[in-house]
Amino acid sequence: MLSWLRMLIAKCLGVARRRVDDEAFDEEVTLHLQLLEARHRERGMTHEEARREARRAFGGVQQLREAHRDATGFRWLTEGRQDVAYALRMLRRQPGFTAVAVLTLALGIGANTAVFSVVNAVILRPLPYPQPERIERVGWDWDGRSKPTGALAPFKFDYLRRSSSAFEALTTWQFLVLDSGSHGSGGPVNVLRVSNDFFRVVGSIPSLGRAFTAGDYSSGGVAVCLLTHRAWSARFGRDPRVVGRTLIVDERPLLILGVMPRTFEFPEVTEPADVLVPLVLTPDPRDLGANVPALGRIRQGITREAVESDLDRVFTQLRRDRPEQFSAPAERAVLVSFEDLYLADVRRPLWALFAGVTVVLLIACTNVANLLLARGTTRVREMAVRGALGASRGRIVRQGITEGLVLASIGGLCGVALGAAGVYALVDLAPAGISRLDQVRVDAVVLGFTVALVTVNGVLFGLASTQIGGRGWRAGPTSLTTRGSSTSRGSRRLRQAMIGLEAGLAMVLLVGAVFLVSAFYRLTHTQLGFDPQRIVAVTFRRTPPEYRSPDRIRVTEQALRERLTAVAGVRGVATTSVAPLGERGHNIPITVDGRPDATEGAVEWRAVSRQYASVMGLRLMRGRWFSEEDAAAARPVMVVSGSFAARYWPDGNAVGQRVWLGVFRGQRRPGGTDVAHEIIGIVDDIRDLGPTRPMRRTVFIPQTGTAALPALLVRTEGTVSVETLRAAVAEVDPSLPEPTIATLETRLATRLTRERFSSLLMTTFASVAVLLTAIGVYGVVSWIVRHATHEIGIRMALGATRSLVLREMLVRALVPVCGGLLTGGAVSLFASGLFSGLVVGATAVSIQVTIAAAAILIAAATVAAFIPARRALTVNPAVALRAE
C-alpha cells in the first residue's frame, strides 16, 4: 500500500519534472556509452568498431528512452491521448451515427442546462446579503390557519422596530414606478423607497458618496436619492462626478447623494431598482389598511426560536396596551422566509419542469445507448481482433469509456451552446414577477452541473458499447469466424427493454402535458361574468401631480369619454377605477348598516361610470344599475355582486339595504365614507382579476371624484386601431401621460402567462420525448428486421403469410412499448402531485387524460415500428436462405 503510494508520488513528480529528468537520463546514457566505447578501445578495437560494439551491447537508446518515460510518467496519459484520437476517428468515419447521437445528446443536455440555470439562479443561489442566514422577513399570521402574509400594519411595524430586542435593525420599503425628467421625458424609473435602517439590514453601503442619514428622513430637508449601479451606468455613463447632481423623479428634483455598488441587489422586489429614496413612516394607529413589508437583521448568535418568542413577547405587550389593533385571537407576527414568500409558487413548477427535462435527457441517453449497442454488435469482430492481439479487458473498457466521454463531450459542448441560447428563450417566455429571474445565466455552477452530466453519460455510454464488444474479447478469435448471431438474442432483449423504458418515461411526460393542456384549456374557457371580446382597455400607469385633484380628474375623464365615444367604430366607453384583468384589484373593508357583526376586511371595490355595465356586458339580477342622476347628485348608492348579496342576505332581499364602506369592526379606515351606501341593484358575479384567481365578492359605486386617472374601457364594433385611440387621447390633453392600450383578450393572456409557460414547456418536453421514443422504436425494429432476415426467409418459405410476418415484427416492438406505457401510466397517476401546481385548477390526473396520452404514444410507436417492419415483407426467401 505504502509502496503503491510512493510509486504514485514518484510518477507525479516524474510528470512534473519531465524535462530535467530527460536531460539527466540522456547524460547517464551518454556516459555509459562512452565508458563502454573506451573499454572496447582499450582491448584494441578501432574507433568505429568500439562505437558500434558499445551501441550493440547497450541496446536501442530510443526504445529505452520511451520505456523510461513510461516508468516515470503515466502510461494511461499517453494511451488516453491515443484513445481520444481513435474515438474521434471512429466518429468521423460514421457521420450519420455521430450526427444523430450528438444532436440527441445536445437536445437533452441543452434543455437540462437551460432549465437548471433557471433553477440555480431562482431557487438554489443564496440571498445576496452578507451573513444571509441572519436576514429574516417578519410577516403576519392573521388567523392561525391561512398562509401568513409578508407584511404588517405600519403601526405594528413601527412598534416592533422600537421594542424588539432580537433584531439588530428592521427596515421596510415600497416599490413604485415613476416618471423621470421633466414631464416624464426621462422615461420610467424603478424607485425603491427605503426606511432608515435599510443599509444596516442589507449590509451594503454606497460605493460612491454616502448613504441616507437621519437628516435625510426628516421632512423639510432637501429631497435626496441614491442611484443603483444599473441606473448609474444607463443614465450617467458611470460618471464619478454624479454625486451632487440632481435627478427629476415625479416632477421633483432629487439630489444624488451617491451610487450603490454593483453587487447590491434587493430580491425582495422582483424588478431591479434604479433609484433609492428615503421612506418616512408615519405610523398612524388608525391605518390598518396598507400593510408594509418588514425585513430584519437578527442579532449575532440569536436562534430563530428566540426571535419568534421575542416577537410573541412584543405583540403580547401591544395586545395588552392596544387591544383594538387586533381582530382575531390567533393573530400574531411570524418569521417568513424569502423562500416561503417568493418561491412557494415558483419552486414546485420549476422543480417539476426540471424533472420533466431530466426525463427528456434520460430518454435521449437511452436512445444514444441504444445506438451504441447497435454499433457494439458490429464491433464484436474489432474487439475480438484487439483481444487476440493482446489488449487486456481493462484496456478495452477504458477505450470504450474514452469513446463514450468523447461523444458525450461533443454532445455536451453543443448542448451548452443550445442551453445558453435556450436560457434567453426561457427567461423571455417566463411569466413576470419571478424574483431573480433577471440573473439567470450559464455560470460556473451551471457548467459544473453540465460537466457532471456529460461525465456520467460518457461513462455509461462507454460501458454500454463495451458490454457488447466485451463479448468479442472474451470469445476471442473464435468470434472472428461466427456470424455474431449468438449475441443477437441477448442484445435484442436489452434493446427491447430500452424502448420499454423510453416509452415509460415518455408516458409520464405525456400524461403531464395532456393534463396541463386540458387544465389550461379549461382556464381559458372559464366564465368571467363579462365578455372580454371587443373591449379595449386604455390605462394610465401614473397620474401626474398636476392632475391629482378630483375636479381636474372629473373634467379630464368626461373629455376623454366623449372624445373616445366619437371615434368611428366605438360603441361605448366606460371608466373604472380598476381595469379588468390587471395585476391587482382594489379592496376595502365593509360593514352592513345596523349589523356590526356583518363585517369583512376586504371586498373588491370598483368606482365605475354609468356605462360600465353595458360596455362590460354585466347581467343585472335584481334592482337597477346606476342612472345619470346617481352620479350627478352624488347619491350614496351601490350595486353589489351576487355572491356579496348572498353572503349577507341569503333570503334575497339585499336591494334597499345599506352598507358602510371603509368600516371594519366599528373602526373607520382612512378613506371611509361618512354615509352608508344603499344597495340599488345586484349583478352577476364577475372574475375581473382573471380565471386563475378565486371569485371575489365585489361592490360597485358610481365614479366620483377620485384623485387618480381612471381606466377607460372602449367597446368596439368594427376594427379600431391602437393608433387611433392613442391619437384621440393625446388630442384631449397632450400633457396626459402615454396610456397603455390593450384589448381585454390580451390582458387575459397576460394573466395566464405562468400557466401558458408551464403547459407550453411541458408540451415541448413531451413532444421531444415522444419523438425520441419513436426514433428509438424505429431503430430497434429496423435492427430486428435486419437480423431476422434469415428467420423471415425460412418462415416465408414454410408458408407464413406476409401479414403474419408483419404482425410478428410489430409485436416485437410494441410489446415492450406497451409494458413501458402501463408502468409509466401507473407512475404518472401516482405522481400527479408533481404537475398539479403548474396550472391553476389542475388537481388530479384523470383516467381520460391517461388514455389520451397512451393513445398518442401508441400511435407514434406504431408508425415508427411499421415503417421498418414493412421492409421484412420485401425479403425474398430464396435470397435470404442463400445469404448464409
Residues that bind another protein (CB under 8 A): 3, 6-7, 10-11, 24-25, 27-29, 31-32, 34-36, 38, 57-61, 64, 67-68, 71-72, 75, 390, 392
Pick the closer one to another protein by CB: 269 or 391.
391
Q: Half-sphere exposure of 383 toward its Cβ, with a 13 Å CA cutoff? A: 28
Pick the closer one to another protein by CB: 25 or 326.
25
Compute the least distance from the CB of residue 5 to another protein, in Å: 10
Compute the least distance from the CB of residue 43 to another protein, in Å: 14
Pick the closer one to another protein by CB: 50 or 507.
50
Compute the least distance from the CB of residue 469 to another protein, in Å: 20
Pick the closer one to another protein by CB: 69 or 561.
69
Give the cell for residue 472.
468479442
Nearest in space to 863 (alpha carbons), one of 777, 786, 802, 804: 777
Compute the least distance from the CB of residue 2 to another protein, in Å: 9
DSSP string over 97-150: HHHHHHHHHHHHHHHHHHHHHHHIIIIISPPSSSSGGGEEEEEEESSSSSPPBS
Pick the closer one to another protein by CB: 366 or 399.
399
Pick the closer one to another protein by CB: 69 or 229.
69
Pick the closer one to another protein by CB: 58 or 354.
58
Compute the least distance from the CB of residue 85 to another protein, in Å: 21
Q: Half-sphere exposure of 411 toward its Cβ, with a 13 Å CA cutoff? A: 34
Contact 820, 773 (CB under 8 A): no
DSSP string over 236-276: HTT-GGGTT-EEEETTEEEEEEEE--TT---TTSSS--SEE
- Three-state DSSP class for residue 618: coil
DSSP H or E segment with residue 573: strand 570-576
Compute the least distance from the CB of residue 60 to another protein, in Å: 7
Compute the least distance from the CB of residue 381 to another protein, in Å: 24
End-to-end CA distance of the chain: 55
Burial of 251 per CB tally in 10 Å (0-12, 13-18, 19+): middle
Distance CA 827, CA 850 (A): 11
Compute the least distance from the CB of residue 54 to another protein, in Å: 9
Distance CA 342, CA 796 (A): 67
Compute the least distance from the CB of residue 73 to another protein, in Å: 11
**φ, ψ for residue 664 (rounded to 5)?**
-140, 120
Contact 398, 83 (CB under 8 A): yes
Pick the closer one to another protein by CB: 66 or 239.
66
Compute the least distance from the CB of residue 63 to another protein, in Å: 8
Pick the closer one to another protein by CB: 71 or 77.
71
Pick the closer one to another protein by CB: 18 or 322.
18
DSSP H or E segment with residue 195: none
Pick the closer one to another protein by CB: 10 or 432.
10
Compute the least distance from the CB of residue 52 to another protein, in Å: 14
Tell me which DSSP letter residue 780 carries: H
Report in angstroms the alpha-carbon separations of 142 from 169, 285, 379, 394, 404: 24, 17, 70, 67, 58
Distance CA 699, CA 615 (A): 17
DSSP H or E segment with residue 387: helix 380-388
Pick the closer one to another protein by CB: 56 or 320.
56
Compute the least distance from the CB of residue 378 to another protein, in Å: 28
Pick the closer one to another protein by CB: 39 or 647.
39
Compute the least distance from the CB of residue 80 to another protein, in Å: 15
List CB contacts of 253: < 8 A, sequence separation 6 or more.
223, 246, 247
Distance CA 274, CA 179 (A): 12
Pick the closer one to another protein by CB: 397 or 712.
397
**φ, ψ for residue 658 (rounded to 5)?**
-120, 145
Compute the least distance from the CB of residue 57 to another protein, in Å: 6
Compute the least distance from the CB of residue 71 to another protein, in Å: 5
Q: Which residues of 360-373 are buried (b: 16+ CB within 10 A; e: fewer)?
A: bbbbbbbbbbbbbb
Size (the chain), residues: 884
Catalogue the long-range contacts made by 300-304 (C-beta closer than 8 Å, 24 or more residues apart). 300/134, 300/168, 302/166, 304/136, 304/335
Is residue 183 left, alpha or beta, with left meaning phi > 0 and alpha meaning psi from -120 to 50? left
Compute the least distance from the CB of residue 50 to another protein, in Å: 15
Distance CA 659, CA 596 (A): 11
Tell me which DSSP letter residue 799 carries: T
User: In the chain, what's the furthest Cα-to-Cα distance?
Assistant: 138
Pick the closer one to another protein by CB: 57 or 432.
57
Distance CA 35, CA 732 (A): 110
Compute the least distance from the CB of residue 31 to another protein, in Å: 6
Pick the closer one to another protein by CB: 473 or 547.
473
- Three-state DSSP class for residue 201: helix
Give the cell for residue 457.
453519460
Pick the closer one to another protein by CB: 13 or 234.
13
